[in-house]
């Protein structure tokens, strides 16, 4: 089972900052942190009555419609401003789906926080940073990059928009250590019917597994071909979430998602984060990653500076 973390969050005088309390925090963190004893999970879901820890459910649904579009099954009826190439901050994302691309495919927009102020607030919010710091036992958390995700509805056998089983770190081996964690923010309610994320608990302890392909559509075939460590079993668990709830998974946690068979799109944002001691390792299969280009550094350099905003501690922002 994926552990549910109850937390109480109270707005401070400045609505940008919140106080966070996580019940059973020590137990949760011991289970999550890599390279420590007692690891069991590798992924958690934050749930509380208020929905999103920094935006109301109404606000988060408003973001989804404004940025990603209103109702759509296969084709957009009212595409959002990101897909209309309307960038309020005047900067285009690193990469994005554009009008004319396959409307039935998964839409993945990298570094959407460059383009939209509300998305930037989500991707760099100190509450997310503080939670990540506690989970990773880190003094500093910075943004690695974000991904705006849109999974069209009405999937069929030809158009699934699945996300194949993968570990994020296989694409991030330009980092010397897997010192990264992802906060996955649901912009709409998600369950198995619309292709919610599924994770394999404990897989963050297996190292890199021969399974990784984000773009593979045949998840069953992938599972058959997996080479798992001796004594381990592949038992994925769905992360069922309400709009505004946030899940966290480690960079080595195996995860993926199936088809969206509903009439409405599944919308979310993956906020990929790193600890402050994350360093560049040259000559890896991830040498072509955008952050290697943005860093423009040498082997052993810290990933830091303007391309990597600091979320925690807030005083460093």
Instruction: Give me the DSSP letters along 32-56.
Output: HSTTSTT---SEEEEE-TTSSSSS-
pLDDT attached to residue 112: 94
Residue 204 counted as domain residue: yes
Beta strands in the chain (DSSP E): 3-11, 18-22, 43-47, 107-110, 141-151, 163-166, 180-186, 197-199, 237-238, 246-250, 255-257, 266-275, 310-312
User: In Å, what is the CA distance from 94 to each residue of 17, 49, 109, 113?
Assistant: 28, 35, 8, 10
Residue 3 counted as domain residue: no
CATH assignment at residue 45: 2.60.120.620
pLDDT tens digits for range 118-148 = 889 889 988 889 889 988 889 999 999 999 9
Residue 14 counted as domain residue: no
Residue 80 counted as domain residue: yes
Residues sharing a CB contact under 8 Å with residue 244, sequence separation 6 or more, in sequence order: 51, 52, 55, 56, 57, 60, 185, 186, 187
pLDDT tens digits for range 200-254 = 988 998 999 987 888 888 888 888 888 888 989 899 989 988 888 888 999 999 9
| Residues 293 and 174 sit within 8 Å (Cβ to Cβ) | no
pLDDT tens digits for range 58-100 = 677 667 666 666 554 444 555 678 888 889 899 999 988 877 7
Residue 19 has pLDDT above 80, yes or no: no
Residue 259 counted as domain residue: yes
Residue 1 counted as domain residue: no
Residue 218 counted as domain residue: yes
Residue 159 counted as domain residue: yes
Higher pLDDT, 182 or 218: 182
Cis (ω within 30 of 0) for the bond into 188? no
Among 42, 37, 35, which Cα is nearest to 167's? 42
Among 198, 107, 110, 214, which Cα is nearest to 152's? 107
pLDDT tens digits for range 22-63 = 333 333 444 444 333 333 557 777 654 344 545 566 677 667
Among 223, 20, 206, which Cα is nearest to 126's? 20
Q: Give the domain range for residue 306.
A: 19-316
Number of domains within the chain: 1
């Amino acid at each position: 089972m994926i552990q549910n973390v109850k937390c109480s969050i109270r707005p401070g005088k400045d609505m940008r900052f919140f106080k966070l309390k996580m019940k059973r925090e020590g137990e949760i963190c011991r289970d999550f942190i890599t390279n420590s004893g007692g690891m069991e999970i590798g992924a958690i879901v934050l749930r509380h009555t208020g929905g999103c820890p920094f935006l109301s459910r109404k606000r988060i649904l408003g973001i989804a419609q404004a940025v990603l579009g209103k109702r759509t099954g296969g084709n957009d009826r009212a595409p959002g401003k990101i897909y209309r190439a309307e960038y309020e901050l005047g900067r285009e994302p690193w990469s994005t789906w554009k009008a004319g691309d396959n409307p039935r495919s998964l839409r993945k927009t990298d570094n959407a926080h460059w383009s939209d102020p509300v998305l930037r607030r989500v991707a760099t919010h100190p509450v997310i940073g503080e939670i990540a710091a506690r989970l990773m036992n880190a003094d500093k958390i910075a943004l690695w990059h974000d991904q705006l995700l849109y999974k069209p509805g009405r999937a069929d056998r030809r158009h699934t928009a699945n996300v194949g089983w993968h570990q994020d770190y296989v694409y991030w081996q330009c980092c010397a250590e897997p010192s990264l964690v992802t906060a996955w923010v649901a912009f709409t309610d998600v369950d198995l019917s619309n292709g919610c994320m599924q994770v394999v608990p404990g897989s963050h302890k297996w190292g890199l597994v021969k399974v990784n392909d984000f773009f593979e559509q045949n998840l069953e075939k992938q599972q058959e071909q997996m080479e798992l460590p001796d004594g381990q079993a592949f038992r994925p668990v769905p992360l069922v979430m309400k709009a505004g709830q946030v899940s966290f998974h480690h960079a080595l946690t195996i995860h993926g998602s199936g088809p969206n068979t509903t009439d409405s799109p599944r919308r979310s944002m993956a906020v990929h984060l790193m600890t402050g001691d994350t360093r560049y390792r040259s000559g890896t299969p991830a040498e072509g990653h955008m952050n290697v280009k943005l860093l423009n550094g040498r082997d052993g350099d810290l990933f830091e500076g303007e391309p990597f905003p600091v979320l925690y501690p807030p005083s460093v922002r």
